[in-house]
Amino acid sequence: MEKIVITAEKRDIIGKKVKTLRREGKAPAIIYGNEVGSIPITINMRDATNTLNKVSGSAILTIDVEGEEYSTLVREIQQDYIKRTLIHVDFLSVSMKEKLRTNVSISLVGEAPVLEEFSAIIMPGIDQIEVECLPQDLPGVIEVDVSILAELGQAIYLKDLAAIDNVDFLTDPEELVAVASAIKEEVVEEVVEEDELAVEGEEGAEPEVIEQSKKDEEGSEEE
């Protein structure tokens, strides 16, 4: 497993004063859990952003706090989506000798024959699987090959996935991961045709009303 390191410094500034850190290109963060208590830290905003954008939510990150290292998982990222800058990051400290429970994202890979053969689409099911394992065995992502989907209605369930060494799946094995579904183009065409007929009917009815109105007017004048 590749070691991913984020350098940090201990932080004394808290509360609203952390705004001064952001002006200096730093972001406030905290390490907590696993008997470490709560350790406020600061991280380089640009470097940390680049690192966090490249890893999955289940990646083990090493936080180097002035020479002391902590193995962690990212538990929450607060971000300014307009400025695209970090506001705050929560890191959960984990023991490399104890199993942990967390969610790992699913990635659908491969080309399904049903896509070309039947002009189908692949509908995803669950997008994460809860797992239990040692931190060093934690997969960054769980890839699911959809190339076995050759017929409409064919599906992949969690129970169909191959086991991963030293990793236990805790999510219900009957959960749907992906299914091949037809595109309902015919229904759309029928709706369009009905709408067109309705419009034509309305246009055809209008002259009759006007014509009748004229006859009524002429009859009134003769009387």
Between CA 88 and CA 94, with CA 93 as vertex, the angle to 5 degrees is: 145
Residue-level pLDDT at 77: 95
148 and 76: one domain? no
84 and 157: one domain? no
Whether pLDDT at 208 is above 80: no
110 and 164: one domain? yes
Q: Which domain holds residue 146?
A: 100-182
Number of neighbouring beta carbons within 10 Å of residue 63: 23
Burial class (CB in 10 A: 0-12, 13-18, 19+), 18: middle
To the question of pTM greater than 0.85 for the whole model, the response is no
What does the alpha-carbon distance between residue 164 and residue 109 come to, in Å, rounded to a whole number?
Answer: 17
Residue-level pLDDT at 187: 45
Tell me how far CA of residue 63 lies from CA of 67, 70, 71, 171, 193, in angstroms.
9, 5, 7, 30, 62
CATH number at 106 reads 2.170.120.20
Residue-level pLDDT at 211: 44
